[in-house]
Amino acid sequence: MKISVDNQEKGFLPDGRHTVEITDIEEGVSEHQQVPFFAVRMENEDGFVSQRFYNSPAGKPIILSLYSAVGIKPEGEKDLDTKQLIGKRLSVEVSDHTYNEPNSGQERSIRQATGFRSA
């Protein structure tokens, strides 16, 4: 087996505020409650963070704050498209978030981005 070391994956961004660019969007459905989500990869030269945004009533204000931070405003009844986010820059606060896994109750930690602001 040969292991390539040329294109090493970036590591997670350290705690703190970072200016990042949105480089990828993946769509899916949550494992436990079947809620649609999109995962946003945000990165800069120091690393990356991926953040899920759930398309639910509770998640809508967070989604709207992300769009606002990159300068996209909703227009009337027109749907927002996640593809509009690719290549946009913003400032985020990166930290760890600890929660209990719904099925097992085990404590888990994830790296997350919050506090979306214009870059």
CATH number of the structural domain spanning residue 41: 2.40.50
Q: Would you say residue 96 lies in a domain?
A: yes
Whether 106 and 94 have beta carbons less than 8 Å apart is answered as no
Residue 4 is assigned to a structural domain of this protein? no
Residue corresponding to tokens 């436990």: 32
pLDDT single digits (tens) 84-96: 999 999 999 999 9
- State how far the Cα of 116 lies from the Cα of 69, in Å rounded to an integer: 6
The highest-confidence range among 22-26, 72-76, 98-102, by mean pLDDT, is 22-26
Closest CA to 97 of 12, 10, 11, 8: 12
Assigned domain for 47 exists: yes
Domain assignment of residue 113, given as a range: 16-72+81-118
pLDDT in tens, 33-69: 899 999 999 999 999 999 999 999 999 999 999 999 9
Answer yes or no: is 9 within a domain: no
Q: Is 1 a member of any domain?
A: no
Backbone angles phi, psi at 113, to 5 degrees: -115, 135
What are the φ and ψ backbone dihedral angles of 44, each rounded to 5 degrees? -145, -170
Is 66 among the domain residues?
A: yes
How many domains in the chain?
A: 1
Q: What is the phi/psi pair of residue 64, to 5°?
A: -65, -35
Would residue 42 count as lying in a domain? yes
Q: What are phi and psi of 58, to 5 degrees?
A: -70, -30
